[in-house]
Structure 1
Amino acid sequence: MSVFFQGFVNFTRDYIVNYIDIDYSLWMTWFLAPLLISFLLPVVIALFLYFSAFVLYIYKLHWTNIRKTLQTGDMWDTVRKFVCALWDAHGWIWHGYEVRGLENVPDTGSALIIYYHGAIPIDLYYFLAKSICVKNRLIHTVADHFLFKVPGFSIIAECMNVIPGTIQTCSNILKEGNVLAISPGGVYEAQFGHTYNLLWKRRLGFAKVALEAKVPIIPMFTQNLREAFRTVSIGKRFFLKMYAMFKMPLAPVYGGFPVKMVTHLGKPIPYDGNLTPEQLQAKVAAAIEDLIQKNQRLPGNILFALFERIPFFRKKTA
């Protein structure tokens, strides 16, 4: 009898242990899945960028034969439009992406676009694609130096006219009649501007460029940009020290949520030679902050941003 009882106890114990293990595994999978997905989704954007770079490399390798077929002098024109069409489609499907105020970007002539930098500047990619697809206008952009060390980025930079950017090179680009986009906050703002606050410090380079080139400035802000992708705010002091040491974005990024995204372009701020760089910086910052106040739900909320895909829930703008 004791042998039977001991066997029953062992069977019951093993059954319960196995059941608890299975149940615990299922619970952990259910609990951690959203967390894993939110950190993996940014990888999709990286893969899409590398796919774009791959297409550009193939195109460049076969340019000699392609040129004979297309009979065009601009090597990048055709493939640039193809890649931009892919990004435009991605923005429309995943974020219901729109641009309001695109008419403020001139069809000809120069202008300087100053924009708020999100955790990932996905809005800039969509905006550049929209500008080419709708206005057939290539917008030059300034990127942080570390990006040019990333494998595969150089060919994207060559195709889309992305530059590291000094005051003189930026001024020359504008004087040649081009449109140039700059984010004064850059990587620092991307990593630590968690609440849509502008983190420009004393960066006056863009103001000096605009004054030297005598061009208008177009303020730009993208609604729900921080709800699409966010940086981890825990351990801010540590990541601030890491940024100070390496000048690279080392704070983890998560997100990729299909929130509604709308890029708002404000009225151009005309050139005024009487303004100092400090005064012009303050004027542009005020214009972008006004776009944020009018168009962004504060504090940002991912759930509300998802609901804004439905017109009924969208924030009423002034």
Structure 2
Amino acid sequence: MTAESRDNGLEQDPTHYILGGYPDVMMYPFIMLGILIILYYPALVSILTMYFGSTICAICRKIGNLPEDTDNKLWDETKRILTTGAYVLGKILHGYEICGIENLPKGPAVLVYYHGALAMDQCFFMFTLYRITGRFCFSVMGHFLFHLPGLKQLFRVSRCIHPTREECVTLLEKGHLLAVAPGGIREQNYGDNTYKLIWRQRKGFAQVAIDAKVPIVPMFTQNIREGYVIYGNIRPMQWLYEKTRTLVFPMYGLFPVKIRTHIGQPIPYDPNITAAELAEKTKIAIEALRDKHQKIPGSIVRALGERFEMHRKHE
């Protein structure tokens, strides 16, 4: 290198060629954040929405000096604000509606639904249900969500829980609705636009219904797999999920497809049925709803077109 080059500041430290220069190293976190956003942006939008709801809860509690007990009537106004926000978001994103709400019993029941790539439909369902009937259903969620900081208050207000089997029975005995997706994260990750139920041998929800002596209500959300799509269903990701049981595969979506949650006829309590038989009966009922309301394989283009179709109101 010539003296002129050195004088012009062109001589560089050898580590510049190894690390790409100090400014480039500083960019690594932003590059990783960008990759994370690309791989998980629908889930990140969902989480940001939850934090927005949690902020509303915190503000309302501070301004109104609300009690710790979220069942207190003083929390009703906060619930109405959250409900209005979820209702408007559901209408804007997906023209969301519930069909067959008359099938819900007045008393307790276990609501069993298919788990899509992102359970936005369950969020819209529970707030729309509250808007229409004044009833909040308890929603069983994955335990990893409860490790996210700052969401505890929102989960209490919206009755999102991760209970034991005994706690589920107690809630039902008190007259509440309990929503559960037996497929859980496995169904979320492994499912596709054929809408095959992936429950393996899960029957705990059926045993809960038998122990509490309540009916099971099957539910299915039309086009949920077209609104949010999993694309990381490959062997390495499957291996990681089976090892961690909390990994969510990469996804894309937020497509403004038409989404409807269909509620089927209740499966009444039968003291002579086993949990395995009741689980199978529930699975058949959900598959019947799927076959009636969902064209398989699902199509994003077709689901987008359904936003413009005339459809009888069911709310």
Asked if Structure 1 and Structure 2 have the same fold, meaning a TM-score greater than 0.5 normalized by the shorter chain, the answer is yes
Q: Residue type of the partner of 1:76?
A: W
Matched ranges for 1:4-83 at <5 A: 40-64=41-65, 73-83=72-82
Return the match for 1:175 from 173, 176, 182: 173
Q: Once the 2 structures are TM-superposed, how far is the Cα of residue 60 of structure 1 from its aligned partner?
A: 2.4
Structure 2 unpaired stretches of 5+: 1-36
For residue 113 of structure 1, give the secondary structure of its aligned residue in structure 2: strand
Q: Is the 8 A contact 1:38 1:255 kept in 2?
A: no
TM superposition shift of 1:281: 0.4
2:139 equivalent in structure 1: 141
Q: Structure 1 regions of 5+ residues with no counterpart?
A: 1-35
Letter in 1 for 2:133: K
Alpha-carbon separation, structure 2, partners of 1:223 and 1:271? 27
CA distance 1:299–1:233, change in 2 (3 Å)? farther
Q: Secondary structure at the match of 2:277?
A: helix
State the identity %.
Answer: 38
User: In the aligned structure 2, how far is the partner of 1:158 from the partner of 1:54?
Assistant: 13
Query: Match of 2:274?
Result: 276
**Aligned AA (2:136):** L
Q: Which moved more, 1:201-210 or 1:160-169?
A: 160-169
- The 3-state SS of whatever aligns with 2:78 is helix
Matched, 1:220 2:180: no
Which residue in the other structure is 2:104 paired with?
Answer: 105
SS in 2 for 1:119: coil
Contact kept, 8 Å, 1:42 with 1:255, in 2: the verdict is: no
Match of 2:21 in 1: none
Letter in 2 for 1:47: L
Is the CA contact (8 Å cut-off) linking 1:38 and 1:256 kept in structure 2? no
Change (3 A) 1:39 1:141: closer
CA RMSD of aligned residues (A): 1.9
Distance 1:140 1:89, change over 3 A: same
CA contact (8 A) 1:112 1:217 kept: yes
Report the Cα distance in structure 1 between the residues aligned to 2:245 and 2:219, rounded to whole angstroms.
Answer: 25
Equivalent AA in structure 2 for residue 59 of structure 1: C
Question: 2:195 maps to what in 1?
Answer: 196
Distance in 1 between the 2:104 and 2:152 partners? 26
TM superposition outliers: structure 1 runs of 4+ over 4 Å: 36-39
Q: Secondary structure at the match of 2:73?
A: coil
Q: Kindly tell me: are residues 39 and 149 of structure 1, through their superposed partners in 2, closer, same or farther at Cα, counting changes over 3 Å?
A: closer
Does the alignment pair 1:92 with 2:82? no
Tell me the CA shift for residue 55 of structure 1: 0.6
Query: TM-score, normalised on structure 1?
Result: 0.81
What is the alpha-carbon distance in structure 2 between the residues aligned to residue 201 and residue 133 of structure 1? 34
Q: Does structure 2 conserve the Cα–Cα contact (< 8 Å) formed by 1:42 and 1:256?
A: no
For the residues of structure 1 that align with 2:288 and 2:205, how far apart are their CA atoms? 19
Q: TM-score, normalised by structure 2?
A: 0.82
Alpha-carbon distance in structure 2 between the residues aligned to 1:190 and 1:287: 19
Contact 2:112–2:219 (CA under 8 A) maintained in structure 1: yes
Q: Tell me how far apart the structure 2 counterparts of residues 209 and 257 of structure 1 sit (CA, whole Å).
A: 36
Q: Deviations over 1:17-59 (max 9, x none)?
A: xxxxxxxxxxxxxxxxxxx889645433322221111111222
- Cα deviation for residue 152 of structure 1 reads 2.7
- Report the CA distance between 1:165 and its aligned residue: 1.9
Aligned to 1:119: 117
